[in-house]
Amino acid sequence: MNIYLCIIIGALLLEFFLFSLSRRLDLQNISTSLPNAFKGYYSANEYARSQDYLAENTRFSYLTSTVDLIIILIVIFLGIFNNVDVWLRDFGFSPMVTGLLFFGVLFLFQDIISTPFSLYRTFLIEQNFGFNKTTPKTYLVDKLKSYFLLILLGGFTLFLILIFFHKFGDYAWLYAWAALSVLLVLAQPLFTSVIAPMFNKFTPLEDGELKNKINALAEKVNFPISRIDVMDGSRRSSKANAYFSGLGKNKRIALFDTLIEKHSVDELVSIIAHEVGHYKKRHNIKGIIMGVVQTGIMFYLLSLFINNEALFAAFKMENVSIYASLLFFSILYSPIELIMSFLGNAISRKHEFEADAFAKTSIGTGKDLIEGLKKLTVTNLGNLTPHKLTVWLSYSHPPVLSRIKALDNMGK
C-alpha cells in the first residue's frame, strides 16, 4: 500500500479519535455541582442551561467531524481530486488559471457541504440558547463578503505561490516564505483598516468615565491608542468580547456593545488592561515570529514534495501539477500541523496568564478582572469544567477557573 496514503489516513483517523475522545470526556466531566467561585453568578437553572449548551454543541461537533471524515475518505478513495483535475484540464487554460480554478471548485464543493451545518448552528443551536441575532440577510451578505475577500486575497496569495514554484525552481520556497511572511505582518493593519469595517460598524467611544479611565491606563503603562471604538457585535450575537488590533502607533481598541452593556467601568478597564498586557509582553510579535518560522518550515518541506509521483498516486491522480502538490502536501502535513497547534495553544495559554498578571499589576487589583471573567463566562455560557485533554487539544485560553485561581494566588 502507498506509504503516503497510510500516513494520511492514519493522521485523519488519529485526529478524529483524539477530538472525539476529548468531547466524550467533556460530557463525562459535566457536574451538577456548581463550583464555589461561581456561586451567586449562576442560578441552578442557568448552570443547567450552560451544560445543555455544552452538550448540544458537543453532539453537533460529533456529527460535523464524522461527516468531514467520511467525505474526505470518499474523496481520496474514489479519486475525486483527479476527476476535478481532468475536467478542468479539458478547458485548456494555463497551469496558473487551472490551479486557481482547481482550488475554487474544491472550496465551492466544501462550502456547499458545510453551509447547512453552519445554518443549523446559527439559526437553531445559537437561536435556541438566546445568542443568535443574525438575520438571514446578514448571514447571506456576510457570506458574499467572505467570498469576495477569499477570491481577492486568497486568490492573489495562491497565484503568487504558484508563480514562485513555476518560475524559481529550488529557491521557490524562499520566495513563497518571504511573500507569506510579509502578508503575516500586514494582516493586522489590513484587518483593522479594511476587513473589520466590512462586517461591523465601529463608532468612537463617547466621552465619559470609561473613555477617561482607558486613556489614563494607556498613559500609565505607556501604551499609545489611536482609537477606542464600540463595535456592533449585537448585530450577530448576544455574546460579549473585546479585542485590540493594529501595529505600531495605529492601535485600536474595539469593545463589543454587548460587553459595555453587561460590565461595570472598572471591569471593562481591567479587561482592556489584559489586552494591553498582550502588547506590552510582545505576545503579538512573538505570535508573528512563530507564524513566520512555521511558514518557512512548511514551505521548505513542501519544496521536497512538489510533483512527487508517489504522493499523487495516493490520491489516484493521472497528472502531476504544482497546484495539486500544494493541496496534497497540506493534507500530508496535517500530523505536523496538529502537533504545532498543541504547542501553539500551550504558548497561548501561558500568554493569557501573563496578560492577566499584567492587568492585575497595572490596575493594582485583580478583583475587577475576576468579576469580568465570571460575567463573561456566564454571558457566553462557558464550560467551567473542560477535561484536561480538551484543554490540551483545543484551548488557546486557560479554563476560567484556572485563570481565577492564578489571579487569587497573586494576592491582593
Residues of the chain with CATH 3.30.2010.10: 202-267
Query: Is the four-CA dihedral 116, 119, 120, 121 of positive or negative sign?
Result: positive
- pLDDT, position 318: 95
Chain mean position to CA 31: 28
- pLDDT, position 42: 87
What residues are labeled active site?
275, 356
CATH class for the domain made up of 202-267: alpha beta
**Residue 321 three-state SS:** coil
- pLDDT, position 239: 83
Instruction: Report the C-alpha gap between 164 and 385 in whole angstroms.
Output: 48
- pLDDT, position 169: 86
| pTM for the predicted model, two decimal places | 0.90
Strand 252-256 relative to strand 227-231, pairing: parallel
- pLDDT, position 115: 96
- pLDDT, position 53: 94
Strand 252-256 relative to strand 242-245, pairing: antiparallel
- pLDDT, position 186: 85
- Rounded (to 5) percent helix, strand, coil in the chain: 75, 5, 20
The pLDDT profile of the chain, 412 residues, written as one tens digit per residue, is 789 999 999 999 999 999 999 999 999 988 878 888 998 888 888 899 999 999 999 999 999 999 999 999 999 999 999 999 999 999 999 999 999 999 999 999 999 999 999 999 999 999 999 899 999 999 999 999 999 999 999 999 999 999 999 999 889 999 999 999 998 888 877 887 888 889 988 898 888 999 999 989 988 998 888 788 899 988 888 887 887 776 666 677 888 888 898 899 999 999 999 989 998 898 988 988 999 999 999 999 999 999 999 999 999 999 999 999 999 999 999 888 889 999 999 999 999 999 999 999 999 899 999 999 999 999 899 999 999 999 999 999 999 999 999 999 886 5
- pLDDT, position 250: 65
- pLDDT, position 412: 58
Of 406, 312, 389, which is closest to residue 37 (Cα–Cα)?
406
- pLDDT, position 331: 93
C-alpha cell at 161: 505561490
